[in-house]
Amino acid sequence: MSYDDHLDHALEETPDIQEGGERFKLPEPEVRQEGNVSVFENFQGTLDRLDREANHVMKFVQNELGTSASVDERGRLRLTGDFRQRRVADAIDAYADAYVRCPECGLPDTKIVTENGAELLQCQACGARSATGG
Question: Which residues face 110 on adjacent strands?
Answer: 123
Answer whether residue 93 shows pLDDT above 90.
yes
Report residue 2's pLDDT band, with 50, 70 and 90 as the boundaries. confident
Predicted pLDDT of residue 61: 97
Instruction: Give 10-60 pLDDT, tens digit per residue.
Output: 777 766 655 544 567 899 999 999 999 999 999 999 999 999 999 999 999
Choices 3.10.129.10, 1.20.1290.10, 3.40.630.30, 3.30.30.170: CATH for 27-100: 3.30.30.170
Angle at Cα 79 formed by Cα 73 and Cα 84, nearest 5°?
A: 125
Share of the chain above pLDDT 90, in %: 69
User: Are the C-beta atoms of residues 36 and 67 closer than 8 Å to each other?
Assistant: no
Contacts of residue 32, defined as CB under 8 A and 6 or more positions apart, other chains included, come to: 38, 39, 41
Alpha carbon distance 132, 112 (integer Å):
8
pTM for the whole structure? 0.80
Alpha carbon distance 2, 10 (integer Å):
12
Q: Residues 6, 12, 13, 14: is their CA dihedral positive or negative?
A: positive
Instruction: Give 58-84 pLDDT, tens digit per residue.
Output: 999 999 999 999 999 999 999 999 999
> What is the domain partition of the chain in residue ranges?
27-100, 103-134
